[in-house]
Amino acid sequence: MRFQLHEKVDHLEQSLEHAAREFEAEQSLLVEKTNDEVVWSRTEIAKLQRVIQLKTKEMNKVKKLARNILDQRTEVERFFIDALNQVKKEIIAHR
């Protein structure tokens, strides 16, 4: 009887050690996987930040071009208005 109890205790201790080893192995795999995911995520974040920088520069260039086009259009409109007024004055002067 005592021998059987000793045997059961030994068996339970071995089972517990086995479970502990499995848990540690699984934990190691999870830590490794998580670290890999963190590295991948940081790489992706760096890439996306670079894309954002490039898009921001591109948007600033587009804004600058749009502002230049608007300024040029305003100058052309002023020129035509001035020319139209000049023609009106010349027509009135010739009548």
- Mean pLDDT for each 10-residue chunk of the chain (95 residues)? 85 95 97 98 98 98 98 97 96 91
DSSP string for 13-82: HHHHHHHHHHHHHHHHHHHHHHHHHHHHHHHHHHHHHHHHHHHHHHHHHHHHHHHHHHHHHHHHHHHHHH
Tally Cβ neighbours within 10 Å of residue 54: 10
User: Can you state the percent helix, strand and coil of the chain, rounding each to 5?
Assistant: 100, 0, 0
pLDDT at 59: 98
Q: State the pLDDT at residue 12.
A: 93
